[in-house]
Each structure stands twice: as C-alpha cells, then as structure tokens.
Amino acid sequence: MPAPPGPRNILFLNHNSRGVGTFYRCWHLARQLARSGLRVTLVTGSPNRRILARSSSEDGVLITETPNLLTNMYALGSGYGAIGIPYRVVYSLRQRFDLIHAFDHKPNVLLPAVLRSKMKETPLVADWSDWWGQTTDGTGLQERKAKPVVRLETFMEEYIHTEADWVTTISTGLRQRAVSLGIPPDRISCIPSGAPDDLIMPLDKTHCRAELQISPGTFLLGYVGIGIEDLEMMADALLLLRRLRKNLKLGIVGPVETVTQLNEPALREGITWFGRIPFHRLSLYLGACDAFVLPMRDSTVNRNRWPNKFGDYIAAGRPVLCSNVGDVARIVESERCGLVWNDGSDLISAIESLVDDPGLANELGARARYVAEHQLSWEALSRQFVAVYRNMWGGAT
C-alpha cells in the first residue's frame, strides 16, 4: 500500500538485545511499515559487540546494534549500559527523524527518546508492553531487586508514558494503568503483538518429526520461552497424564534448565529440551508439535502481558492451550483457536480432548492460522500503528 501522509522517517528505540523479548515486537512491526513505504531505523542492543556499533539493512529496515559493554550494570538488568546510552543519545540527535517510537522505559530508551523529543521537538510515541515496577503482589519484572531499583523502575516507566505525545499499550490492562496516570484515553491505543504469518508457516508434521527424530506416534505439546516458572505449574498435570498416556511429551524450545521441577525423575522421560533455537529455524520445531501450551499464573504481570510466543503459535497453525489469564485467553475463547483452562484438571481434560479427537485439533489449528493471517497479522496491526502516527501529524484516519 502507498505510504500515507505523515511521518516518513521513524526511529524505533528498543531496550533489549537483538533477538530477545520486545525486539520481535519492534522488528515485525518495522518490517511491515517498511513495506508500506516508511523508512524505519530500529536501534537495539547488540548480542555480541562490546565497543563498536553495527548497522545492517534487512527487509527494508535499518537495524543499528549498539554496544553492549556494561549493559547489565550494577545488577540493574539490561538497558543501563554506560557505553550504549551515550551512543544512542548522540545517534538520535544527529540523524533526521520525523517521529520516535520508544519501546518501554529503560535508560537506553528513555534518555535518547526524551532528549530528542524535547531538543528537536520530535513527536514521541511510548510503547508499554510489560509491568516492570511496583505491583500489589510483588510480581513486577524488577520487583525482586533492591527497593531503590524498584522505585527507579516504577518512576521511569510512568515518566516516559506521561511525557509522550501518544501511548501504545500491548494489553488492555496496561491501557487502564496509563489512564490511571492521567493520560487522556484518546491519546492511548491498545495494540497487541501479532503473528509473523509470512515467516512462520504451518508445516507438515511428519516431515518435521523426521528432521528432528521424533517418533510419529508421539503427541507432542510445544512450549517456547526463556523462563519456565509458569511452565512448572503444569508439572502435576503432566505427571498424571504421562501415567495414562505414555506417548505424551512436552517439547521445550529455550534454555535447558537443570534445577526445575520438570527435571524430576518421574517427568524426565516425558520432556524433551530442544535448547535455544534461532528464529529462522523455529518453524521446524513448531511444525513438529500437535498443540502448544501457554501457562500463566494469575499475577499482575501476567494479567497485563501479551506473550510474543502466542503469535508464533497461531502462525504455526496448531491449537493453543492457554491458562485463563489476560487478553490472550479472551482471544483464544472468542476466536476458538484453542482451549482455555483454569486449573490442572481443566488442562488434563483439554489435552485429552485433543488427543482423542484429531478432528477437533485440526479445526482449532485452522482457526489459529486464520487469526494469524487476519486480525492478528502484522500487516493488519501495522495499519493501526500508522493511524497513530497520522493522528499525531493531524492527518485523516
């Protein structure tokens, strides 16, 4: 589609390293915007360059990886690097940009975004995709750190959003939090993350299993993610199911964890740890699965999340078994692209229904792919972001 009136050169500032977390929200959106004729520069952390930055052009997007030396400073976590921050400030001030889209609030995003906005009078959009600071239940992403860190994180994530000209949120819960801070509701757009339906496709299960040496008779549940705390809530249900159905297995794409309830002897044979997999090979592992699991404990953080993995799951065209928490559960229910469960007993029933009824599994998987290609495609969601950018420039929507 032709580029609409409004900003043409957009700067995306991401706090993560390339290939981690919110990077994928930025990257998939940036690719679609580039296809519409906009020029997008995505500044993200480098996973391996310590001193010097690196730039490359991919799918029409200029990706600049900033140095990661001292990125994890003073046990504060990512985004505090003493090398990357000044580089980003200088970069943002020297280059020509019509609009800044800041993804979350870390210093390596907040400082260059706010300084550019104020010094160059550049419109600022602030994206809110996680709850980092203080909560009522102690589950904020930084709340396990020292109290001064929690206070700092809370201040920063609230400051950048109240200073922004417009706020985009990944969930309805974070939209409500933005409103509670006094941000006008008509300056907030709730836009979830999408499905990379052009990069992850439904693949033939038999072929994928042959490639990965997985038995054709296995009923394989898939899980993608770095953290497994929520996954452990499934341990008892998996243990019971394994006693009844020896062909049931859980395949985990992510770092191999040695100290976990999932590695207890009774469960060990029913779990395959695939390890970290590069994104370009993820389709193969997803294609080997019969269904995917998305367990989330009922907490402030999870109620306000929209896990990136959900988009990958539905793009692969398999049913999603999702715990009844947050906006994703509502989508699974309303679009019938999986099954929602409340507890271990519900989960067991949901898994057994898919094992015993392949037709149901195929139907839900087809619905999942339909959602990935339509309302949650990045092409469709990018139009909502473009509408935000045009609103800020006074263009018609």
| Same-domain status, 276 and 316 | yes
Neighbours of 19 (CB within 10 A): 14
- Does 311 map to a domain? yes
Helices (H), the chain: 23-35, 84-94, 107-120, 147-163, 172-180, 205-212, 235-244, 265-268, 282-287, 300-303, 308-315, 326-335, 344-356, 358-373, 378-392
Instruction: Say which residue, 6 or 131, is predicted with more confidence.
Output: 131
Helices (H) and strands (E) in the chain, counts: 15, 14
In a domain? residue 107: yes
What is the pLDDT, as a whole number, of residue 347?
Answer: 97
Residue 336 in domain: yes
- The alpha carbon of 378 is separated from its chain's Cα centroid by a whole number of angstroms, namely 13
Token duo for residue 274: 């695939």
Burial class (CB in 10 A: 0-12, 13-18, 19+), 51: exposed
pLDDT of residue 395: 45
Which residue, among 220, 209, 198, 194, has the nearest Cα to 355 in the 3D structure?
220
Q: 227 near 204, Cβ under 8 Å?
A: no
Alpha carbon 140 to chain centroid, angstroms? 16
Strand partners, 97: none
H/E run at residue 169: strand 166-169
Confidence at residue 333, expressed as pLDDT on a 0 to 100 scale = 98
Return the CATH number at 225: 3.40.50.2000
Q: Is the pLDDT assigned to residue 205 strictly greater than 90?
A: yes
> Do 347 and 383 have their domain in common?
no
Residue 142 sits in which domain range? 9-194+378-392
> What count of other Cβ atoms lies within 10 Å of the Cβ of residue 338?
31
**How far is Cα 30 from Cα 26, in angstroms, rounded to an integer?**
6
Q: Are residues 172 and 263 in the same domain?
A: no
**Is 397 part of a structural domain of the chain?**
no
244 lies in a domain? yes
Quick: pLDDT tens for 184-194.
999 999 999 99
- Residue 72: band (very low, low, confident or very high) from pLDDT cuts 50, 70, 90: low
Cα dihedral sign, 313-273-323-19: negative
The pLDDT value recorded for residue 58 is 94
Q: Is the pLDDT of residue 352 over 70?
A: yes
pLDDT, tens only, 74-120: 556 678 887 899 999 999 999 999 999 999 999 999 999 999 999 99
Query: 294 near 318, Cβ under 8 Å?
Result: no
Residues 187 and 252 in one domain: no
Q: Does residue 4 have a pLDDT over 60?
A: no
Q: Is the domain of 209 the same as that of 289?
A: yes
The predicted pLDDT at position 199 comes to 97
pLDDT of residue 397: 36
Is the pLDDT reported for residue 396 higher than 50? no
In a domain, 245, yes or no: yes
Q: Does 172 share its domain with 216? A: no
Residue 2 lies in a domain: no
314-331 burial string, b = 16+ CB within 10 Å, else e? bbbbbbbbbbbbbbbbeb
State the average pLDDT over residues 114-130: 97
**What mean pLDDT do residues 140-150 have?**
84
The answer to whether residues 308 and 162 belong to one domain is no
Give pLDDT tens digits for 276-292: 999 999 999 999 999 99
22 and 63 housed in the same domain: yes
- Are residue 27 and residue 127 in the same domain, yes or no? yes
Residue 47: inside a domain, yes or no?
Answer: yes
3-state SS, 272-333, equals EEEECCCHHHHHHHHHCCCEEEECCCCCHHHHCCCCHHHHHHHHCCCCEEEECCHHHHHHHH
- Condensed to tens digits (0 to 9), the pLDDT of residues 239-272 reads 999 999 999 999 999 988 776 788 888 888 899 9
Q: Are the C-beta atoms of residues 73 and 80 closer than 8 Å to each other?
A: yes
My answer on whether 176 and 229 are in the same domain is: no
pLDDT value at residue 152: 92
Average pLDDT score over the chain: 93
- pLDDT (average), residues 121-138: 94
Question: Do 188 and 100 sit in the same domain of this protein?
Answer: yes
Same domain for 356 and 294? yes
Q: How many domains does the chain have?
A: 2
